Amino acid sequence: MNTSKNILITGSSSGIGAKIAEKLSSSGHNVFLTGRNEERLIKLAVEIKAKGFLAGCLLEEDFPVKLFNNACKQMGHVDVLINNAGAYLWSSVEKTSKENIEKILNLNLRVPYELCTLVVPYMKKNKWGRIINIGSISGTVGEANASLYSTGKAGLIGLTKSLALELAEYGITVNVINPGWVKTGLTDECIQSGNINEQEQLDMIPQKRWIEPQEIADLTKYLISDSAQGITGQSLNLCAGLSLG
């Protein structure tokens, strides 16, 4: 195994982010959690022996910097950034409000970019770093009535490729994992609101199953290992075949 790394994971209070945190902490790494729900963060931090956490909204102007400073205070520095926090919006283009345009693009694209600006200086100095963005199949193949979500997630692929090129000579890899449908709070909300039908959705997936958060955590663990140092700038679809059409 790698030596222990210091890892900041956004959106780690639930779903995919919580599973990634659990996996990486149990593999001997120091993890720093964040999300808005403080109660869940406290519970998870104790359960998985996280190095620390900070509750807050990433859409608040000062929060990304505050988060980064807190993570550094607790761990010394950040070796690995996992940009996982995100929100989905089901809306036809003409019904999409200006507030939602700002909110979804900020959370799903601007904040990941800003966090990259904060973690890269130390990674460059240390000649080692890993940035993993959690995208979506919607960013690779498009999704009707989710154009805003798709736009942000497609942007993460551009960010990943450009940063991978820019940072390659510093021993920093940058990759994006694009999950298909995963049964988390995000998906449950879509089902409950009637925007997607659970059975119809499953029928559309070639493997006829949801992706498990554990599968994304396992891939994340591999991508931060030294065995994966040659994998950079890649957009990796983990989708049970959904992206195949």
* Selection from 31, 162, 35 nearest residue 86 by Cα: 35
Span 68-97, contacts to ligand NAP by CB under 6 A: 84-88
Q: The tokens of 91 are what?
A: 């809306």
Cβ pair 236, 177 in contact under 8 A: yes
* Selection from 137, 87, 138, 76 nearest residue 112 by Cα: 87
Q: The tokens of 164 are what?
A: 């991978």
Cβ pair 179, 134 in contact under 8 A: yes
Catalytic hit among 88, 113, 149, 222 = 149
| From 56-64, 120-128, 157-165, 166-174, span contacting ligand NAP (CB under 6 A) | 56-64
| From 29-37, 91-99, 166-174, 223-231, span contacting ligand NAP (CB under 6 A) | 29-37
Q: Which is nearer to ligand NAP, 230 or 245 (CB)?
A: 245
149/37 Cα distance (integer angstroms)? 22
Q: Which is nearer to ligand NAP, 171 or 198 (CB)?
A: 198
Span 146-175, contacts to ligand NAP by CB under 6 A: none
171/129 Cα distance (integer angstroms)? 6
Interface with ligand NAP includes 140 (CB under 6 A)?
A: no
**Which of 70, 100, 187, 234 is close enough to bind ligand NAP by CB under 6 A?**
187
Interface with ligand NAP includes 59 (CB under 6 A)?
A: yes
Interface with ligand NAP includes 112 (CB under 6 A)?
A: no
Q: CA–CA distance from 17 to each of 4, 10, 86, 96, 215 (Å)?
A: 19, 7, 10, 27, 12
Interface with ligand NAP includes 37 (CB under 6 A)?
A: yes
Interface with ligand NAP includes 11 (CB under 6 A)?
A: yes
Residue type, 43: K
149 is catalytic: yes
Minimum CB–partner distance for residue 2 and ligand NAP (Å): 24
**Which of 8, 20, 50, 58 is close enough to bind ligand NAP by CB under 6 A?**
58
Q: Which is nearer to ligand NAP, 59 or 101 (CB)?
A: 59
Q: How many CA atoms lie within 13 A of 97 on its CB side?
A: 4
| From 6-14, 121-129, 194-202, 221-229, span contacting ligand NAP (CB under 6 A) | 6-14
> How many CB atoms neighbour CB 206 within 10 A?
13
Catalytic residues: 149
